[in-house]
Amino acid sequence: MTGNGVAPQLAVFGAGVMGIGITTLAVGRGVPVTLVDVDSARLDEARARVRNELRLAHMMGALPRTGPIGELRLAASASAAADATWVIEAITEVAELKAKVHGDIAGAVAPGTLRITNTSSIPVDELADRVPAPEDLVGVHFMNPPYLIRTLEVIRGPRTGDPAMSAVDALLATLDRKGIVVGDGPGFVTSRVLHRMINDAANVVEEGRATVEDVDALMEGCLGHPTGPLRTADLIGIDNLVDSLWVLHERTGDEGCRPSELLLRKVAEGNHGRKTGRGFYEYGAR
């Protein structure tokens, strides 16, 4: 309960892979969620997708099988988030679109409401330039799937206020997640390191020096990477990975972040990884 006796509520904007995953984590921890998306087809599928992800999380022991399940509400308008305690934006990695959504959110929620951007690469202060009340804006980089990976990055922008950071702590405690606060800047820590490595791995395959399977086996067996970079790319979503690499390339000038031709080809062919059934590997129906 909050200080006024009202149960905390979460609003999630974006019913894509990350939005569904974050929603699954929250309802699995007993938090009521309003999931907002302007795409009616995505909303129509959202309840079943959350139900399937929740079943998978229970099977994997990632969420408790007993205890309350948070209520899930679906909405097409930012006004549905008016009563939210916390808001998480989890839309595509395009700064202009994120800024527009945060403007809509700021116009709908009470002043001082925590607004989180779930971003893997876009600096928080870049968004703060374009949105109202930048002191309420914090970056949180949830890993995929959010209900399975307990540790995440928390990015405090230069204009982020202390109350917003305290609200992040309360949210993460409620979700049983561990946040590590890092400095603002393109890619933060995980994407700055991991996405360049995945890009290099794709370039090695494109050059014909090793197969996909051999690259992953070497990184797993020699360096202890838990899944291999290319299988990780499939989990992230190759389209999302390419978006993040372009963000890094444009904001750092690092040519190592220019997306590999192999990655670009897979995106163009619609082979985006697990979510489409094929990426660097093929996946059966879940």
Average of per-residue pLDDT values in the chain: 95
Residue 285 has pLDDT above 60, yes or no: no
Burial 54-70 (b: 16+ CB within 10 A, else e): bebbeeeebbeeeeeeb
pLDDT grade for 202, boundaries at 50, 70 and 90: very high
15-25 residue pLDDT tens:
999 999 999 99
Q: Which of 209, 205, 189 is nearest to 238 (CA)?
A: 205
The domain limits of the chain are 10-182, 193-276
Report residue 284's pLDDT band, with 50, 70 and 90 as the boundaries. Answer: confident
Per-residue pLDDT, 6: 66
Query: Is the pLDDT score of 122 beyond 70?
Result: yes
pLDDT of residue 67: 84
**Per-residue pLDDT tens for 227-252?**
999 999 999 999 999 999 999 999 99
Query: Mind listing the pLDDT tens digit for each residue in 38-97?
Result: 999 999 999 999 999 999 999 999 999 988 999 999 999 999 999 999 999 999 999 999
Name the band, by pLDDT with cuts 50, 70 and 90, for residue 4. low
Examine domains 10-182 and 193-276 and report if their fold is the same: no
Please tell me the distance from the alpha carbon of residue 174 to that of residue 106, in angstroms, as a whole number.
23
Residue 1 has pLDDT above 70, yes or no: no
CA 154 to chain centre: 12
Asked if the 193-276 domain carries CATH number 3.30.1360.30, the reply is no
Please state which architecture CATH assigns to domain 10-182.
Answer: 3-Layer(aba) Sandwich (3.40)
